[in-house]
């Protein structure tokens, strides 16, 4: 029960996204992933930053598209949807450009922007009701 409330409070903080704090954090994680792939090549940095990126953007998508589900199901469906979107955008970037380090950063940025925009759109629709 306690784990559920922790997940719900974290989800509420992320989806409220006051002053775009979590969106900016998502872009910072993209920058850290880029620096790590380019210079450092540390698996520890990659795992931590990727986990933060996935947590934020999966929560955005889960909240925006699966409103009636509980917190865990929202997160898991958001994570599944995020994986699909990353794959589709990655495929498009690979076909149109080239999927190297710059291409991977483009994919992460596009997906993060889409998830943040969708979260803000749903938030503004809820305020209007």
The string of DSSP letters for 14-65 reads HHH-GGGHHHHHHHHHHHHHHHIIIII--HHHHHHHHHHHHHHHHHHHHHHH
Predicted confidence (pLDDT) per residue in 100-129, tens digit? 899 999 999 999 999 999 988 887 666 545
Predicted confidence (pLDDT) per residue in 46-94, tens digit? 999 999 999 999 999 999 998 888 888 999 999 999 999 999 999 998 8
State the pTM of this model: 0.88
The CA distance from 63 to 51, in Å, is 18
Predicted confidence (pLDDT) per residue in 5-28, tens digit? 777 888 888 888 778 899 999 999
In the chain, where are the structural domains located? 2-128
Residue 6's pLDDT is 78
**118: exposed, middle or buried (Cβ count in 10 Å: 0-12, 13-18, 19+):** middle
């Amino acid at each position: 029960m306690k784990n559920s409330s922790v997940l719900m409070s974290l989800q509420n903080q992320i989806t409220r996204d006051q002053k775009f704090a979590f969106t900016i954090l998502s872009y910072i994680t993209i920058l850290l992933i880029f620096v790590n792939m380019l210079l450092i090549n540390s698996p520890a940095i990659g795992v931590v930053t990727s986990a933060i990126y996935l947590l934020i953007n999966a929560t955005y998508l889960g909240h925006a598209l699966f409103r009636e589900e509980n917190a865990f199901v929202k997160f898991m469906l958001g994570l599944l949807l995020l994986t699909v979107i990353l794959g589709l955008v990655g495929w498009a970037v690979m076909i149109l450009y080239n999927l190297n380090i710059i291409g991977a950063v483009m994919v992460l940025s596009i997906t993060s922007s889409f998830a943040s925009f969708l979260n803000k759109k749903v938030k503004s629709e809820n305020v209007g009701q």
